Amino acid sequence: MGELSNKDRLELKELELNSLLEITQAINDNIPEVSLYKIYEFTLRANLQIKKLALFVMDEIWSCKVNYGTDLNCFKQALPQRFQDLKEIARLNDDELFHEFDYVLPIHHKNHLLALVFVSDLGMDTTNEKSASKFLQALSNIILVAIENKKLARKQLAQESFRKELEIASDVQQYLFPENLPYGSGLKVKASYLPHDHVGGDYYDYIPINKNQFLICIADVSGKGIPAAILMSNFQASLRTLVRQTPNLSEIIEELNYLVFENAKGEKFITFFAAVYDISLHTMIYVNAGHNPPILLDKKNGISLLEDGSTVLGAMHPLPFLTEGFITDVKDFLLFTYTDGLTETMNEEGEEYGIERLKEYFSNNGEKELDKIHQDIIIELDKFKGNNGYHDDITLLSCRIELL
């Protein structure tokens, strides 16, 4: 290739300057990434007359964003590992895969490798190849940093949107919980809620039915965020309406299942435990719909797990089976319910906390005050998990009846 004249060099510099101005204007106009890549390609092909080029960009994985002038289809080509830590411009010489190119130019930003430009025939004499490669690096850097900034802005917007969603979902969830729980001489109800980083769908409630009966329940919806919180909010409103309409627990469960199935279209489900206690008859009727089995500590009969009921609510309609648990002559007892965040907490060896540890705790500590029981379990769970984090919300709900 012959030497460039002074006039040619001047024209080339003007082209380079115009190219920078066009790229800068495009960035200022905030055009989409795909358009920036098209302008980049047009600038190199038409203005700078670079004949062969491939631009590989790190975007979660390495992929080709611009390619022209080659027999090799770089869009379908994975970037070999040998290029992924490149620090300086390298000659390709007789590279088996990229033999159509003369050089590969790394594009860095803050010591981070953003992209690689494979290029041949810079369109000038060898004395100007270094200058041309520097300009190509500069032009590529401007484009790619602008694209990186767009990605960062999108990520920040997504994070802000997610934060607001969690805020809304958290507010919705707080309204689900009853403001006051009874804590008198004959009836004590205590709840503890440990939220995880992500807002879950835990729910508990105490609903008086009449002077002799009350319903106590706990539930957990699959999924997180606003959809889960709204579904559980609808569930709570429906439950409270149904309790006013009928005392029949099976009818309530059937109707709740239908409502969840219709609202969630089978894409979400709710695990649910509900018990109706009659203070005058000393009876408890309960249904466990796919929930973790609550622990009943009865002074007469010891510890038992309440498992009778049905499958989760909302997965199918009608329910494939439904049985009520019925317990008689129970007037001095502790009922402990919880969500699966408790028993599924793992220690550093990958072992779950499980139900057996809970049963062992209650066999030795069932006489303690409800506040102390909750405090003990939370402290024990924290020790058990070690350096592991919690992966779900945890709700504890206890009810103690002591009738004279």
Q: pLDDT in tens for each of the 404 residues of the chain?
A: 445 555 555 455 555 555 555 666 656 656 778 888 888 888 778 767 788 999 999 888 999 999 999 999 999 999 999 999 898 888 887 888 999 999 899 988 778 898 899 998 765 444 555 666 777 777 787 877 777 777 777 778 777 766 776 666 666 666 678 888 999 989 999 999 887 755 667 899 999 999 999 999 999 998 777 778 788 888 999 999 999 999 899 999 999 999 999 998 888 999 999 999 999 999 999 999 999 999 999 988 899 999 999 999 999 999 999 999 999 999 999 999 999 999 999 999 999 999 999 999 999 999 999 999 999 999 999 999 988 878 788 999 999 999 86
Residue 160 counted as domain residue? no
What is the predicted pLDDT for the residue at 20? 59
Residue 184, domain member (yes or no): yes
- Half-sphere exposure of residue 172, counting CA atoms within 13 Å on the CB side? 24
C-alpha 39/C-alpha 65 separation (Å) is 12
Same domain membership, residue 371 and residue 222: yes
Residues in the chain: 404
Give φ, ψ of 349 to 5 degrees. Answer: -95, 5
Query: 260-284: buried (b, 16+ CB within 10 Å) or exposed (e) per residue?
Result: bbeebeeebbbbbbbbbbbbeebbb
Q: Are residues 151 and 182 in the same domain?
A: no
Element (H, E) at 365: helix 354-365
Q: pLDDT value at position 314?
A: 95
At residue 202, φ and ψ (nearest 5 deg) are -70, 145
Enter the tokens of residue 153. Answer: 């802005």
Alpha-carbon distance 285 to 327, whole Å?
6
CATH number for the domain spanning 356: value is: 3.60.40.10
Tell me, what CATH number does 33's domain have?
Answer: 3.30.450.40
Residues 149, 189: one domain? Answer: no
Specify the pLDDT at position 288. 98
- 167 occurs within a structural domain: no
What is the pLDDT at residue 124? 44
- The span from the CA of 193 to the CA of 202, in Å, is 9
For tokens 């089995």, the residue is: 293
- Distance of alpha carbon 64 from alpha carbon 322, whole angstroms: 57
Domain closes at, from 122, 155, 188: 155
Q: Are residues 198 and 129 in the same domain?
A: no
Flag whether 264 is in a domain: yes
Asked whether residue 86 falls in the same domain as residue 31, the answer is yes
**pLDDT value of residue 260:** 95
Query: For residue 1, what are the CA distances in angstroms to 4, 121, 124, 137, 218?
Result: 9, 10, 7, 22, 81
Give the whole-angstrom CA distance, residue 217 versus residue 128: 79
Residue at 1 is within a domain? no
Residue 299: predicted pLDDT = 83
Tokens representing 384?
């058990």
Distances (CA, A) of 26 to 20, 36, 55, 80, 264: 10, 7, 19, 32, 45
**Lookup: tokens for 29:** 């106009």
Residues 141 and 47 occupy one common structural domain: yes
Contacts with 306 (C-beta within 8 Å, 6 or more apart), sequence order: 273, 275, 286, 288, 293, 294, 295, 296, 325, 335
Closest alpha carbon to 143 in 232, 236, 252, 25 = 25
Same domain, 87 and 34: yes
Q: Say whether 18 sits in a helix, a strand or coil.
A: helix
Question: Do residues 101 and 33 touch, judged by C-beta distance below 8 A?
Answer: no
Q: Is residue 210 part of a domain?
A: yes
Q: Is there a single domain that holds both residue 234 and residue 357?
A: yes
Distance (Å, whole) CA 274 – CA 213 = 13
One domain for residues 183 and 97: no
User: How far apart are the C-alpha atoms of 302 and 275, rounded to whole Å?
Assistant: 19
Does some domain include residue 166?
no
Which one of 106, 123, 155 terminates a domain?
155
Q: Which helix or strand (DSSP H or E) is residue 119 part of?
A: strand 112-120
Tell me, yes or no, whether 80 and 110 share the same domain.
yes
- Say yes or no: 231 and 360 in one domain: yes
Degrees to nearest 5, angle at CA 287 with 202 and 334? 75
Supply the range of the domain harboring residue 271: 177-402
Q: Determine how β-strand 309-310 pairs with β-strand 283-289.
A: parallel
What is the rounded distance in angstroms from the CA atom of residue 310 to the CA atom of residue 261?
15
CA 363/CA 301 separation, integer angstroms: 12
Please check whether residues 140 and 193 belong to one and the same domain. Answer: no
Report pLDDT for 303: 95
- Rounded to the nearest angstrom, the gap between the alpha carbon of residue 144 and the centroid of all alpha carbons in its chain is 29
Q: Domains in the chain: how many in total?
A: 2
Q: Is residue 161 part of a domain?
A: no
